[in-house]
Structure 1
Amino acid sequence: MAPFPADATLVAPIGIACRHDALVEDERSRGRRLQVGEVMSRDVEFAAAGDTVQQAATLMGEIDVGALPVGSAVRTLGVVTARDLLLRVCAAGRDPTTTTVTDVMTAEIHHCRADDGVETALDLMASRHVRRLLVRDGHDAVVGWVTLSDISRRLLIDSGTVRTALDELSGR
C-alpha cells in the first residue's frame, strides 16, 4: 500500500490548507495516536440486496449520506454510492424503480479496524482513491464508517497548529 503523500493537503471548510502529516504529528506530540474508533460514525444504515435504486436514494437523502453498504453488518455485499447512482443509473438511462442496488453497487469493499490509526485509514483511502471506509470489528462485522471528512474535521479541530493560526487571524 502506498503511503499518504507527505506533501498532500487537506482543505478545511474554512479554507485553510493543512498538511496531513503536520496534523497527525500534532496529535503525536500530545502523546497519543488518534484511532479510527475515535472519529468514526457508529450509526450505519444498510440497503438490502433487493432494494431498488430509488429506495436507496431516498434513504440516502433521509439520513444525509453519500453511500450505503449493501447487505448486513455480518454479510456486506458491496457499497452503493451517490456516484454509482449517477453514473450507472441516471447517465445510463436505467429505471431507478426497477434497477436494484446490487445491479449498480461497487462490489469491492475497502475497510479498516476501529483500533487502526487514522494514518492507516488515510493511507488506504489515498491508495484506493476512496473517501470513506467501512470499519469492521474482530469478527469482520461492520461497526461503523469513517470518512475523509470525519478525519479531517477531527484533526483540524484538535490541531494546535490550526488553533494557533485561527487565533493569529482573529488577533488574539
Structure 2
Amino acid sequence: MRPALHVIAWHGPGRLATMAHPRGGDRLAADLAGLATAGVDVLVSALTPGEQRRLGLTEAPAAARAAGIRYVPHPVPDRGVPDDAVALGVRLAAHVRAGRFVVTQCFAGIGRSTLLAGVTLVMLGVEPERALAMVAEARGLPVPDNETQRRWLHDFALQHGGFATATHPH
C-alpha cells in the first residue's frame, strides 16, 4: 500500500506532489515501497523529530533508502513556516527540472508540505498565489493551514523568486 499522493499539475519534465505522513512502525517499509513503485524519487519530510517519534517514523530515512528513495528531512513546527528554505527550494527545483518525482509531506499534507511544494514551484518560476492554487487543486481543499503560512510564501517569493503580487504587495 502507498499513501495518497496529491500530484500537482505541472508542465515541466518532473513531477511534484504533497502527501500526509506514511504509516509508521511495521507498515513504514510497505508505504515507502509503494511510493517507490509510484515512481517517487525524493521524499521531503517537514515532520519534527518529536512527530516522527510519536508516529513511529524514526526509521523513515533508512526505509526510504531501502526503497531507493532519497529522503530529505526539513523539520518545520506544526502550523509553522520553514527556516532557511532557499537551499532546499533550489535543490528540489533542480530535481524536478531533472525529471524526478519529488513529494513533500507533513502530518496531514495541508500546511507545511504545501509550503515546501510552494517553495519548489516558486524556484521553478511560478508566482506564489498560483503555486498555492496549484497545490489546492491537487489536494482538493484550501491550503495552506493559515494566513501566516500564505504570507510567508509570498514573502519568500518576493525575496527569492522576484515576485511582487497585488495580493501581498511589498
More helix by share: 2
Per the normalisation by structure 1, the TM-score is 0.32
More strand by share: 1
Q: Which has the larger radius of gyration?
A: 1
